[in-house]
């Protein structure tokens, strides 16, 4: 049997309202009674039932974080950014990983909706986000990392994916490459598409032709990256430079290249997307395009908070890109 506020009140010889007021500091209670109540609370290790409180107050001080990707460094850092900021603001975090499963994502949404959380930060599995429009008018939602403009009334916090695609391609072109391949994990998602757009733009500015066949898909894992390079290089013999969309795939690609005795960067130069701790001590040290996942996470939570306070409020934040130049791109 769990102890309730009523029990505390009874033992202290006061009403539940009084107990509630001392716990929440909502009204002044005589010192004597206050102390007595506090003592009893201490004695029983009592803490108020948040379920009841939530129901009564119509909020839960909890945010939902729905991520879709396999936990690479980027997503992981983003999650901890959101968690950190939520904690600072007195919120809890409900974490859901949809594993790139669209249907699960939609189900989860129905579950979270309606007061189990005060709002949701979503990194969607796909670009089919119209289903969100049934919620966004009355329920705070912010899209993170991946974004789709068809979603109305939702805020968004992303990195500047166009620029990292553009800068990476341009850098390779400056190294003299004309045939630059891209290895990505999921298509039709703003992160991937924006990067490809940037890449195309850099190609165009330099009078290079875009080949759809220079793009290769793979699972966002070490194995996926290995498989993808192998099949891409087998199909497109002219490719001399690679842009790889996440850290695990980059690692897989490098392993495979080494296995095939293809020298980096002499035979195939390479730029990874998303910085990870070991980049500088890999041979060769990896050049990475980086977006700030921790900051994206923190900003996403702030954005959600604004929407919880005012559902009409909306903003689209795009955080700037940067580049860590090391040697895998051909620099020295």
Partner DNA sequence: GTGAAAGCGCTAACAC
Partner DNA sequence: GTGTTAGCGCTTTCAC
Binding site for its own copies (CB under 8 A): 2, 45-52, 54-55, 60, 62, 65, 71, 76-77, 79-80, 83-84, 87, 92-97, 110-111, 113-116, 134-135, 138, 222, 247-248, 251, 254-255, 258, 276-278, 280-283
To the nearest whole angstrom, how small is the minimum distance from the Cβ of residue 279 to its own copies?
A: 8
Nearer to its own copies, 121 or 202 (CB): 121
Tokens of 184: 């990505």
Nearer to DNA, 29 or 65 (CB): 29
Kindly give, in sequence order, each residue whose CB lies less than 8 Å from that of residue 9, ignoring residues fewer than 6 positions away: 15, 16, 18, 19
To the nearest whole angstrom, how small is the minimum distance from the Cβ of residue 126 to its own copies?
A: 19
Answer for which of 57, 204, 235, 258 binds DNA (CB under 7 A) is 57
Write the DSSP symbol of residue 149.
T
Strand partners, 318: 158
Binding status of residue 261 toward DNA by CB under 7 A:
no
Nearer to DNA, 135 or 199 (CB): 135
User: What is the spatial distance between Cα 201 and Cα 166, in angstroms, rounded to a whole number?
Assistant: 7
Beta strand 269-273 pairing with 287-290: parallel
Kindly give, in sequence order, each residue whose CB lies less than 8 Å from that of residue 215, ignoring residues fewer than 6 positions away: 181, 182, 184, 196
Which of its own copies, DNA, none has residue 29 at its interface (CB below 5 to 8 Å by kind)?
Answer: DNA
CB 311 within 8 A of CB 155: no
CA atoms within 13 A on the CB side of 2: 6
Choose one: 3-11, 65-73, 91-99, 170-178; the region binding DNA (CB under 7 A). Answer: 3-11
User: What is the spatial distance between Cα 246 and Cα 268, in angstroms, rounded to a whole number?
Assistant: 18
Answer for which of 10, 11, 33, 201 binds DNA (CB under 7 A) is 33
CB 274 within 8 A of CB 286: no
User: What is the spatial distance between Cα 243 and Cα 184, in angstroms, rounded to a whole number?
Assistant: 9
Answer for which of 45, 58, 212, 234 binds DNA (CB under 7 A) is 58
Task: Spell out, one character per residue from 100 to 139, where the chain touches DNA: x when CB under 7 A holds, - when not.
Answer: --------------x-------------------------
Binding status of residue 206 toward DNA by CB under 7 A:
no
Write the DSSP symbol of residue 156.
E
Binding residues for DNA, rule: CB under 7 A, are: 2, 4-6, 13-18, 20-21, 23-24, 26-30, 32-33, 48-49, 51-53, 55-58, 114
């Amino acid at each position: 049997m769990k102890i309730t506020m009523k029990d505390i009140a009874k033992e202290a010889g006061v009403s539940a309202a009084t107990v509630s007021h001392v716990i929440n500091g909502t009204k002044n209670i005589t010192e004597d009674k206050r102390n007595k109540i506090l003592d009893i609370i201490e004695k029983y290790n009592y803490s108020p039932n948040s379920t009841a409180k939530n129901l009564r107050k119509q909020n839960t001080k909890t945010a939902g974080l729905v991520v879709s990707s396999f936990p690479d460094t980027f997503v992981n850092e983003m999650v901890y950014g959101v968690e950190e900021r939520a904690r600072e603001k007195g919120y809890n975090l409900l974490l859901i990983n949809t594993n790139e499963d669209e249907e699960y994502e939609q189900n989860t949404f129905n579950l979270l909706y309606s007061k189990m959380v005060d709002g949701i930060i979503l990194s969607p599995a796909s670009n089919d986000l119209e289903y969100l429009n049934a919620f966004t008018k009355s329920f705070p939602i912010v899209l993170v990392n991946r974004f789709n403009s068809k979603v109305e009334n939702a805020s968004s916090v992303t990195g500047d994916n166009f620029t990292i695609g553009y800068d990476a391609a341009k850098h390779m072109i400056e190294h003299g490459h004309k045939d630059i391949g891209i290895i990505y994990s999921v298509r039709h998602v703003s992160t991937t598409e924006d990067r490809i757009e940037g890449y195309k733009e850099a190609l165009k500015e330099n009078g290079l032709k875009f080949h759809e066949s220079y793009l290769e898909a793979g699972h966002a894992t070490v194995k996926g990256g290995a498989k993808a390079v192998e099949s891409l290089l087998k199909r497109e013999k002219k490719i001399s430079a690679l842009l790889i969309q996440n850290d695990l795939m980059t690692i897989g690609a490098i392993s495979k290249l080494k296995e095939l005795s293809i020298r980096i960067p002499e035979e195939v130069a390479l730029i990874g997307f998303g910085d990870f701790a070991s980049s500088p001590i890999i041979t060769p040290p990896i050049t990475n395009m980086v977006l700030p996942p921790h900051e994206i996470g923190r900003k996403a939570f702030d954005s959600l908070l604004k929407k919880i306070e005012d559902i009409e409020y909306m903003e689209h934040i795009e955080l700037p890109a940067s580049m860590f130049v090391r040697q895998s791109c051909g620099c020295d």
